[in-house]
Amino acid sequence: MGIFPRKVKGFRDIDSRLNSVRWLIIQKASEVYRRYGFEHWDSPVLEYAELLGKYLPDADDVADGIYSFRNPELEPQFDERGNELRDEQNNVVMTNHFLTMRYDLTAPLARMYSEMVWQRFIHNQLKEGRAPLFRRYQFGPVFRFEAKLDPGRFREFWQLDFDTVGSDDVAVDAENVMVLSDALENIGISRGKYVVRMNNRKLVKGYLRAVGVESEELEQAILRIVDKADKIGMQGVAEELGKGREDKASGAFISGLGLDNRLIDRIMQFFYSFENTPGRAEVLNKLANLNIGNELLDQGLEELRRIDEILSGLNYRDDRAILDPTMIRGMGYYTGPIFEVEYQGTYKDEKGRKRRVGSISGGGRYDGLVERILGLRVPATGASIGVDRLAEVLINQGLVPEYSGPVLIVVFDPGMMIEYQRLALKLRNAGIDTEIYYGNRRGLKQQLSYADQKNSPLALLLGEDELRQNVITVRDLRLGKELADKITDKQQWKEQVQQQVPLDQVVEYVKNKLQK
Amino acid sequence: MGIFPRKVKGFRDIDSRLNSVRWLIIQKASEVYRRYGFEHWDSPVLEYAELLGKYLPDADDVADGIYSFRNPELEPQFDERGNELRDEQNNVVMTNHFLTMRYDLTAPLARMYSEMVWQRFIHNQLKEGRAPLFRRYQFGPVFRFEAKLDPGRFREFWQLDFDTVGSDDVAVDAENVMVLSDALENIGISRGKYVVRMNNRKLVKGYLRAVGVESEELEQAILRIVDKADKIGMQGVAEELGKGREDKASGAFISGLGLDNRLIDRIMQFFYSFENTPGRAEVLNKLANLNIGNELLDQGLEELRRIDEILSGLNYRDDRAILDPTMIRGMGYYTGPIFEVEYQGTYKDEKGRKRRVGSISGGGRYDGLVERILGLRVPATGASIGVDRLAEVLINQGLVPEYSGPVLIVVFDPGMMIEYQRLALKLRNAGIDTEIYYGNRRGLKQQLSYADQKNSPLALLLGEDELRQNVITVRDLRLGKELADKITDKQQWKEQVQQQVPLDQVVEYVKNKLQK
């Protein structure tokens, strides 16, 4: 009798230790976001699939990459102006719309912003065509159905975004870098252990146009290959731009774009010249000296100069943010300045291999995302911290404060419950997290093993004899663990880790113990 | 061109003001939960439908009340021991399992707990049949597809639960009452404005058995009717227990259970005798004097006595928690002590009618929920705060601190951006939330209307002239709003709400202004 109990594959429960790290990140970063004037908004987990875009399923089937299903509610179909569609008999066309569990927080923001502007249009509150300014931060779970899941990856994970919609000013892009930098330092990552890499899509695009890449499609294809430089190396990039290459790991042949060698050389020239990224000033100089006279590239350079000017003016120097013209970022929707934060450290994976931690956050300017919905050009820029990814980094880099559970009051005698309760009340009133042991398995061993599981710092032992003498025994569980190997004599160990305290001094005693 | 932008029907965006109330509740209540030793755990939004129970859909269709769909992943079917099912050819039977978006946080807790215990069984870490103790709190969105949605209700809403699994001790039920009471007071609801109503399912069940109600089904049917007493009155309850009644609002006839009059009288007698709930001591006395000699009732009474003893011993008196033997609570799964928190106040609904606020939280003991999955009896008890419901109450009762946006730095001259940035940096370093206006609509009017939207307390005005004189103008936006009606002369109004401050004193000045 029963049901085999299990989580959905690819999902996980978050225990209190991991949760404390997740919420440390959210709280410390949110504090910084608010400091810059971003306000906390929230949007639903479910959205109409057509409004999230890109992944719209065209059948009853669930599209690759997302969780999508038919709304149980039957609703009208609308045209793009919000009018109900009608059939030949003039009946409203009804359907069960596709719903999607959000796969990020940016697409819902585009919907939310579009809806707000739309409502103002309808109510004639928007007098000019210029998009209003909107700045918000948001955090929460997002959902991706990745058919093949890498170990340590999950299909539900948390993001923490901040975005500015309705501003062309690249000062915002500069500010984004400051926000991320401040947020990471507030979380506890010291300067020098992270670096923000900045670039501008316009630079690369401009360069590619100048060397003869005309079509948007070819440009995207080239960028996708260059984006893999981290994994396949510069030689691999050159091969994939040309005839293709054999993948050493799988032995499979990866076909190339078939570009001619002269073009490949010119493309690679750009990326080679910035490969070992020096200081921002030097990169800006190099870019100015390219002298290829492409308008888009010049515009991109000008924007980066302005960003550098603001950052330098506020003392955000090369130790926090660098320029890297070879950095691409995967997402196709970025249109201008982009950035990515790299954690400068290594860790050992489950097989003991040393690995670079890599990217923990990123963002950029996306001036086209809202337009898809609203039909109005609305510039936007923002960034996202991968909360669960960063939590993992903080843990494996030892940057997390020790997790501490509540003080545990051991229940020797259920008949003394009122006494235990009164003791708990006193401790709680002094601000001390305190738990009374209520389990059905009442042995002292079980109670202490429970305290151990919860990483309780102290156990309070109060029996009838002690109550009569107005004393209580306080056991230091952490010290107990520490000394367990060193002191084998049980009595001696007890003397070290236990202390009898007058009952009316226990609150002060516990407080002092915990402050150490 | 575009897509009609809209939220899924029944869902909503949460703006920063409402969000600040939601998180005030979560933070203040969580603080209390932790104070009692509950730790913060999280579970996924998606679960296998069969493990959430009750609502399991038996077709490709979505069951009433929940959002459910087929997992895009093909997986084995398992028997209740976790063995893969095989067909006649000995192939593993594969299926796309139904997934459900959680409709509460209790059912996922039962799954989570069962899975932990199951894992220990498998690894032989569980030596006795007794269930281990587990206490956690959790918050987050839950999802219900209610085909007919009342106004002001939503299909996604937040809950904030705390539960103790693995304890028979009704001291935990007493503690639950203390936790809720402390949490509500910590949130800002003063004593006397809320009351916890307590009851024990065993009382009513015992009484019904004593008067001749034998079957579980009839008992549940009777309880469901009694539960409606709030809406249909005692007379309505009596009618529905008997021949039925006509609903005055709809004119529809609601058929009754058809019990005979003598039984109805005896049932009603119980509820009438406790209708005007006096103090806990008096209720306990009355219950003791019922003298109907039913074991279940006696057990229920004994449990309530113990709960009262603990509450009274810790000074949680009738002004915080009362006994109400007529309170039922809808959920079928409660097995022992139950409670419900009522906010003692009224509000005006959208039509201006005065209404009682009613229930804002509830909970109870559910000793059978885990058994359904694990096949092992595991006692459990806990409670849930309806976060969004409570947020609504705090807002309409005026219990929410005024919402304040960031200080806004007006951008007169984009060429002075570095100056604005330096000013912002200084303010932020002093802990003041500060935003620089980046919008594309640059008129002073637009900038101030933006500040107004965000409820910014102050606007800082810095032009070239002022910079030369090393001064800055600070406008008090709140005072400005206040005086807008009173002072019609623009110059006079300006003199009242604006102040020129030396640039090197602006941080101190702003700090002082904000502290007021």
Distance between B235 CA and the closest CA of chain A, angstroms: 37
B43 and A19: CB-CB below 8 Å? no
Strand order of the β-sheet with A98-101 is A46-48, A98-101, A68-70
Residues listed for chain B: 516
Q: Look up residue B498 and give its two tokens.
A: 């604006």
Mean pLDDT computed over every residue of chain A: 92
What does the pLDDT average to over A77-94? Answer: 93
At residue B276, does pLDDT exceed 80?
no
Residue A37 with chain B: CB contacts under 8 Å = 405-406, 408, 433-436, 454
> Does the beta carbon of B164 lie under 8 angstroms from any beta carbon of chain A?
yes
Lowest pLDDT segment from A269-278, A484-493, B368-377:
A269-278
Q: Please choose, from the candidates B40, B136, B26, the residue with its C-alpha nearest in 3D space to the C-alpha of residue B385.
A: B26
Residue B166 with chain A: CB contacts under 8 Å = 439-440
A79 and B4: CB-CB below 8 Å? yes
A434 and B37: CB-CB below 8 Å? yes
Residue found by looking up tokens 């260059």 in the block: A226
Q: Which amino acid is at A279?
A: G
At residue B322, does pLDDT exceed 60?
yes
Phi and psi dihedrals of A329, rounded to 5?
Answer: 65, 130
User: What does DSSP assign to residue A165?
Assistant: E
A435 and B79: CB-CB below 8 Å? no
**Who contacts B269 (Cβ-Cβ below 8 Å, separation ≥6)?**
none
What CATH fold (topology level) applies to the domain A16-45+104-201+295-396? Answer: BirA Bifunctional Protein; domain 2 (3.30.930)
Q: How much of chain B exceeds pLDDT 90, in percent?
A: 76
Quote the CATH superfamily of domain B407-515. Answer: Anticodon-binding domain (3.40.50.800)
Residue of A nearest to B307 (CA): A418
Q: What is the pLDDT of residue A127?
A: 56
Band the pLDDT of A277: cuts 50, 70, 90. low
Distance between A72 CA and the closest CA of chain B, angstroms: 6
Q: Where are the domains of chain A?
A: 16-45+104-201+295-396, 46-101, 407-515
What does the pLDDT average to over A376-380? Answer: 92
A116 neighbors A76 (Cβ within 8 angstroms): no
Residue found by looking up tokens 């990866």 in the block: A254
User: What does DSSP assign to residue B51?
Assistant: H
Q: Which amino acid is at A212?
A: G
Band the pLDDT of B62: cuts 50, 70, 90. very low
> Does the beta carbon of B146 lie under 8 angstroms from any beta carbon of chain A?
no
> Does the beta carbon of A94 lie under 8 angstroms from any beta carbon of chain B?
no
Mean pLDDT computed over every residue of chain B: 92
CA distances from A49 to A81, A96, A246, A328 (A): 17, 11, 38, 28
Euclidean distance between CA atoms A158 and A23, whole angstroms: 11
Band the pLDDT of A485: cuts 50, 70, 90. confident
At residue A298, does pLDDT exceed 90?
yes
Burial class for B109, CB neighbours closer than 10 Å (0-12, 13-18, 19+): buried
Q: What is the pLDDT of residue A276?
A: 74
Band the pLDDT of B379: cuts 50, 70, 90. very high
Q: How much of chain B exceeds pLDDT 70, in percent?
A: 96
For β-strands A337-348 and A194-200, DSSP reports them as antiparallel
What does the pLDDT average to over B263-291? Answer: 89
Residue-by-residue DSSP string for B20-45: HHHHHHHHHHHHHHHHTT-EE-B--S
Q: What is the pLDDT of residue A349?
A: 77
Q: What is the pLDDT of residue A178?
A: 98
Band the pLDDT of A62: cuts 50, 70, 90. very low
At residue A212, does pLDDT exceed 80?
yes
Residue of A nearest to B71 (CA): A67
DSSP, collapsed to helix, strand or coil, labels residue A92 as: strand
B37 and A436: CB-CB below 8 Å? yes
Q: Please choose, from the candidates B282, B28, B14, B287, the residue with its C-alpha nearest in 3D space to the C-alpha of residue B137.
A: B28
At residue B271, does pLDDT exceed 50?
yes
Q: What is the pLDDT of residue B57?
A: 45
At residue A256, does pLDDT exceed 50?
yes
Band the pLDDT of B1: cuts 50, 70, 90. low
Lowest pLDDT segment from A441-450, B147-156, B438-447:
B147-156
User: What does DSSP assign to residue A248?
Assistant: T
Q: What is the pLDDT of residue B60?
A: 46
**Who contacts A515 (Cβ-Cβ below 8 Å, separation ≥6)?**
none
Task: Specify the pTM.
Answer: 0.95
Which of B2, B46, B70 is nearest residue A11 as measured by Cβ atoms? B46
Q: What is the pLDDT of residue B58?
A: 45
B5 and A118: CB-CB below 8 Å? yes
Torsion of CA A8, A9, A10, A16, to 10 degrees: 50
What ipTM describes this predicted complex?
0.94
The pLDDT tens digits for B458-516 are 999 999 999 999 999 999 999 999 998 899 899 999 999 999 999 999 999 999 999 98
Residue B164 with chain A: CB contacts under 8 Å = 438
A357 neighbors A337 (Cβ within 8 angstroms): no
> Does the beta carbon of B75 lie under 8 angstroms from any beta carbon of chain A?
yes
The pLDDT tens digits for B93-115 are 999 999 999 999 999 999 999 99
B293: left (phi over 0), alpha (psi -120 to 50) or beta: left
Q: Look up residue B12 and give its two tokens.
A: 């909503």
Euclidean distance between CA atoms A386 and A158, whole angstroms: 7
Q: Within 10 A of B147 (CB to CB), how many other CB atoms are there?
A: 9
Band the pLDDT of B83: cuts 50, 70, 90. very high
Distance between B80 CA and the closest CA of chain A, angstroms: 5
Q: Please choose, from the candidates B305, B299, B325, B287, the residue with its C-alpha nearest in 3D space to the C-alpha of residue B198.
A: B325
The sign one gets for the Cα dihedral A105, A106, A109, A110 is negative
A437 and B133: CB-CB below 8 Å? yes
Residue found by looking up tokens 């932020």 in the block: B428
Q: Which residues pair with B162 in a beta bridge?
A: B137, B383
A171 and B82: CB-CB below 8 Å? no
B23 and A16: CB-CB below 8 Å? no
Residue B439 with chain A: CB contacts under 8 Å = 132-133, 166-167
Residue of A nearest to B65 (CA): A72
DSSP, collapsed to helix, strand or coil, labels residue B495 as: helix
Q: Within 10 A of B45 (CB to CB), how many other CB atoms are there?
A: 24
DSSP, collapsed to helix, strand or coil, labels residue B158 as: strand
What CATH fold (topology level) applies to the domain B1-45+102-199+320-403? Answer: BirA Bifunctional Protein; domain 2 (3.30.930)
Q: What is the pLDDT of residue B125?
A: 60
At residue A449, does pLDDT exceed 80?
yes
Q: Look up residue B119 and give its two tokens.
A: 């894992």
Euclidean distance between CA atoms B62 and B148, whole angstroms: 15
> Does the beta carbon of B258 lie under 8 angstroms from any beta carbon of chain A?
no
Q: What is the pLDDT of residue A220?
A: 87
Band the pLDDT of A53: cuts 50, 70, 90. confident
> Does the beta carbon of A8 lie under 8 angstroms from any beta carbon of chain B?
yes
Q: Please choose, from the candidates A168, A185, A143, A107, the residue with its C-alpha nearest in 3D space to the C-alpha of residue A11.
A: A143
